[in-house]
Amino acid sequence: MNIATVQNNGADIALIHSSEELITDVQSALDLIATVQYETGCHRIVLHKTAITETFFDLKTKLAGEILQKFINYQTKIAIAGDFSAYSSKSLRDFIYECNQGKDIFFLASEHEAVEKLSHL
């Protein structure tokens, strides 16, 4: 895992790059939040969707809700970057849409869009 920080529009944002899955369950999400906050002081994170287990995107598992609730509890905003068009689930599309209407969790096509979104909150 590589953590870089960028500052955009006065906001410090952690960019996380990894060739392996970093979030596989609730505990690994908590570990990621703690690591990022300890190493960078950032409360805004951009993470590529490939760093998250595919189980997350199956809403029947309830893993997405449990994990994203931890980000909210720890006052950490997250933007997940990637191509979500491969998912055919209407409930997942609705979930992504609703998240993108809020202020804490976003699903965006690129890292650039994610940084822009998180820097204007």
Sequential pLDDT tens for the chain (121 residues)? 999 999 999 999 999 999 999 999 999 999 999 999 999 999 999 999 999 999 999 999 999 999 999 999 999 999 999 999 999 999 999 999 999 999 999 999 999 999 999 999 8
Q: Residue 11 in contact with residue 44, Cβ under 8 Å?
A: yes
The tokens 């869009």 sit on which residue?
113
Q: State how far the Cα of 41 lies from the Cα of 100, in Å rounded to an integer.
A: 24
Q: State how far the Cα of 25 lies from the Cα of 64, in Å rounded to an integer.
A: 9
What pLDDT is stored for residue 69 in this prediction? 97
What percent of the chain is helix, strand and coil (3-state, nearest 5)? 45, 25, 30
